[in-house]
């Protein structure tokens, strides 16, 4: 059965990735109303893919991101309601060793959503350090699909070699891999330019999803080496990358000015022009509006070529996810 025909995959997603990794650290229930406003603003403007993970939110906030999305979905009534696609990623925790454990994890996520999962994804591959576990958990994803508990199956942080092996295993069961998400942006072109993932995905009929399309905010133009640096690890990353990315940021700013768009909107649109679905985070309505402004227009071939050339010249690109396989 072809899952891609059953699953509505919009041309752009609005990711809840930011909710899980950052916003929930200082989360309190007073934020719910603003987050719901973000959700409704996105859906009403045709941005209907929401991506999260069962590892987003720990301790007292365990699964909170999924619960919020489920609550917002159940309350929303309006345009594009039928096209909402809730996607989650199930983490291959060390204690998840069997296919039954993965089915149990999927059922728990569905319970938090308050509905069956539209797209369930393996959060990362354990092929480099525990391949036996990986096959068990992937089989569990297949079981979720065959039991009608999810509409489609996807992967995250897989390279072409591993992807082909997993694709074959799923094909043997008559299951289509619908999506693959990887870290991809103007500061992180490695998965496409060096691993050739887009070509492989096109060959296998898999939709490529780009997470962190704004490179932790470095492509928005709001950070400077001298001042306005974010705290913690992100600030350290800025100091490492910004000096060697000046020509790219200048090019991005020039295109944004000529288009009367923001740098962030151009960076997101560039991802779309490459045939990917970008999933930028949105913590408040203003950020959501910024993201929405990246759609309904297209960079031309000359602008894309200039941005591509500038990206190649970056001296120190973003560090790849440690779980990204080849």
Q: Is residue 94 part of a domain?
A: yes
pLDDT range class, residue 123, cuts 50, 70, 90: very high
Residue 165 has pLDDT above 50, yes or no: yes
pTM: 0.91
Average pLDDT of the chain is 89
Q: Is residue 87 part of a domain?
A: yes
Active site residue: 56, 145, 190, 211, which one?
A: 56
Q: Output the pLDDT for position 141.
A: 98
Residue 321 lies in a domain: no
Residue 59 lies in a domain: yes
Specify the number of domains making up the chain.
1
* Tokens 């705290």 sit on residue: 231
DSSP state of 321: P
The CATH number that applies at residue 271 is 3.20.20.100
Nearest-10 Cα torsion for 230, 288, 68, 47: -140
Whether 209 is in a domain gets the answer yes
* In the predicted structure, residue 14 carries a pLDDT above the cut 80: no
| pLDDT recorded at residue 239 | 84
Is residue 324 in a domain?
no
223 catalytically annotated: no
Q: Which residues contact 225 (CB under 8 A, 6 or more apart)?
A: 238, 239, 242, 243
Supply the range of the domain harboring residue 36. 3-312
- The span from the CA of 238 to the CA of 229, in Å, is 7
- Taking the C-alpha atoms of residue 207 and residue 178, their distance in angstroms, rounded to an integer, is 6
Mean pLDDT of 245-256: 97
CB < 8 Å & 24+ apart, contacts of 165-174: 166/138, 167/204, 167/206, 169/135, 169/138, 170/138, 170/142, 173/142, 173/146, 174/1
pLDDT at 282: 87
Residue 322 placed within a domain? no
């Amino acid at each position: 059965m072809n899952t891609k025909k059953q699953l509505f995959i919009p041309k752009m997603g609005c990711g809840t990735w930011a909710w899980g990794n950052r916003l929930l650290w200082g989360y309190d229930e007073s934020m719910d109303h603003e987050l719901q406003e973000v959700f409704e603003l996105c859906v009403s403007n045709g941005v209907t893919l929401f991506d999260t993970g069962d590892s987003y939110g720990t301790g007292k906030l365990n699964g909170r991101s999924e619960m919020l999305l489920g609550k917002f979905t159940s309350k929303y009534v309006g345009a594009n309601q039928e096209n909402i696609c809730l996607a989650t990623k199930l983490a291959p925790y060390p204690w998840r060793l069997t296919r039954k454990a993965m089915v149990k994890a999927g059922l728990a996520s569905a319970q938090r959503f308050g509905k069956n999962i539209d797209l369930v994804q393996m959060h990362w591959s354990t092929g480099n350090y525990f391949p036996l576990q990986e096959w068990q958990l992937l089989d569990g994803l297949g079981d979720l699909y065959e039991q009608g508990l999810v509409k489609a199956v996807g992967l995250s942080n897989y390279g072409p070699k591993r992807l082909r092996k997993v694709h074959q295993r799923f094909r043997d069961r008559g299951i289509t891999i619908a999506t693959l998400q990887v870290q991809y942006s103007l500061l992180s072109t490695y998965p496409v330019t060096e691993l050739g993932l887009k070509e492989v995905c096109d060959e296998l009929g898999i939709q490529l999803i780009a997470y962190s399309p704004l490179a932790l905010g470095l492509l928005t133009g709001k950070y400077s080496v001298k001042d306005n640096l974010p705290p913690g690890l992100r600030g350290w990353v800025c100091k490492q990358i910004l000096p060697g990315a000046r020509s790219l940021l200048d090019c991005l700013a020039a295109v944004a000015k000529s288009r009367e768009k923001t740098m962030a909107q151009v960076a997101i649109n560039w991802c779309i022009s490459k045939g990917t679905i970008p999933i930028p985070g949105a913590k408040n309505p203003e950020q959501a509006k910024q993201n929405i402004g990246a759609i309904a227009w297209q960079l031309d071939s000359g602008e894309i070529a200039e941005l591509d050339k500038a990206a190649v010249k970056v001296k120190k690109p973003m560090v790849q996810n440690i779980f990204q396989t080849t």
